[in-house]
Amino acid sequence: MLGRTANSLFWMFRYLERAENTARLLDAGLRMALTRDSVSAEEEWRSVIETAGHRRGYEAKNATYTGMQAWNYILRDKDSSASVLNTFQQIRSNAREARSAITSEVWEAVNDSWLQIKDMLARPVGEQRVGEVLTAVRRAGTLAHGAVLGSMLREEGFHFARAGTFIERADNIARIMDIKYYLLLPSLSYVGSSMDTGQWDMVLRSVSGDSAYRWLNAGQIDARGIVSFLVLDERFPRSLAYSHAALRENLAALARIHGIEGTSNELMRESDIRLSGLSIEDVFDKGLHKFLTDFTAANSSIAQAIGQDYRFLA
């Protein structure tokens, strides 16, 4: 496969994952705002904008934080390259570049979603529509991943698509946790203090992990449990451990196909050594923030190395 095509596949799925995670984050914010008074609601939207990495762009255009402004900015601001609309533009444009390397099913799933979402985001999104827009964005990911799993050859292209997905997922989740880590920390030092469990719920919701967590922990909510779940639980498909394992598997498959290991495999192994046998105590001893920063840095060096190993660029 062409290096350029591999690059397009990789980024097509990174952007898809990013759009999906943004939708989850907005969904959680929406829910929080609905259950709060207006002062904490404003605080909540500020946090959502911050987490999505939009603060600078948003504040250049808005003096206050309201839900309507926040979700419209994140969803459809034309000047923000990270808006969901522009992210979808990127997804489709990469899909077009890689058109000859994806199946018609994958292409149609992405193209259909693009047509639908472009249409939905053509005008400002009011309270009545925001829910359906977020559902459509999440469903775009579900449809595309379903089409990939059900129709693509287990060849290079498949593994580039999957590697892109899990690199991005790990990055997004680590970032969401890092922005919220200060909420989780106090309860570790002040055992028994009355923490705002709504905030924890928000963290879980923004990675769609609330019901999985409840199911596994019989409703017991505590900071240690949540961090352990999001970082270490390999059963949860949006945990760091799961994303990391899935990435490892796809990089190993690429090395197998090519008959040679590259820098990406080497970095992956180093990262594995750091994470293997890690307990939640180790994470807190090191400091959650430090742990997450290191993790994100390692994750992006692996992404870089994939591009170099497989000649994404000339």
Partner 1 sequence: MAAGEFFDEMHKPDGSVRDAYSGYQAWYGEQEKSFLKRKHRDAEHAFRRTGITFNVYGEDEAEERLIPFDMVPRIITAHEWRKLTKGIEQRVSALNAFMHDLYHRQEIIRAGRVPEHLFRNNSAWLPHMVGFTPPGGIYTHIVGIDLVRTGPDEFFVLEDNARTPSGVSYMLENRETMMAMFPELFMRVPVESVSNYPRRLAKSLAACAPDCAEGKPVVAVLTPGIFNSAYFEHAFLAEQMGAELVEGRDLRVVDGRVAMRTTWGYKPIDVIYRRVDDEFLDPLSFNPDSVLGVPGIMDVYRAGRVTIANAPGTGVADDKAIYSFMPEIVEFYTGEKPLLPNVQTWRCSDPDSLAYVLDNLSELVVKEVHGSGGYGMLIGPAANKRELSDFAAKLRANPEGYIAQPTLALSTCPIFTNRGLAPRHLDLRPFVLVSPDKVDITPGGLTRVAMKPGSLVVNSSQGGGTKDTWVLKD
Where on the chain is the footprint of partner 1 (CB under 8 A)? 1-6, 93, 96-97, 99-100, 104, 107-108, 111-112, 115, 156, 258, 310-311, 314
Cβ 102 to partner 1 shortest distance, Å = 9
Closest to partner 1 by CB, 2 vs 297, is: 2
Q: How many CB atoms lie within 10 A of CB 40?
A: 15
SS3 193: coil
Cβ 249 to partner 1 shortest distance, Å = 18
Beta-carbon contacts of residue 54 (< 8 Å; ≥ 6 apart)? 73, 74, 80, 82
SS3 286: helix
C-alpha–C-alpha distance, residues 117 and 85, integer Å? 8
Cβ 245 to partner 1 shortest distance, Å = 23
Beta-carbon contacts of residue 305 (< 8 Å; ≥ 6 apart)? 262, 263, 264, 266, 267
Closest to partner 1 by CB, 23 vs 85, is: 85
Cβ 82 to partner 1 shortest distance, Å = 18
Closest to partner 1 by CB, 119 vs 196, is: 119
Closest to partner 1 by CB, 88 vs 242, is: 88
Query: Scanning the structure block, which residue is given the tokens 């900015």?
Result: 73
Cβ 64 to partner 1 shortest distance, Å = 31
CB 117 within 8 A of CB 137: yes
Cβ 284 to partner 1 shortest distance, Å = 41
End-to-end Cα, the chain, rounded Å? 14
Residue (of 313, 104, 290) closest to 185 by Cα position: 290
Closest to partner 1 by CB, 258 vs 289, is: 258
Closest to partner 1 by CB, 91 vs 283, is: 91
Query: For residue 89, how many C-alpha atoms fall within 13 Å in the half-sphere facing its CB?
Result: 14
Task: Give CA separation, 230 vs 65, 82, 107, 239, 262, in Å.
Answer: 28, 25, 32, 5, 29
Residue 16: Cβ-neighbour burial (10 angstroms; 0-12, 13-18, 19+): buried
Cβ 61 to partner 1 shortest distance, Å = 21
C-alpha triplet 309, 312, 314: angle, nearest 5°: 105
Closest to partner 1 by CB, 130 vs 254, is: 254
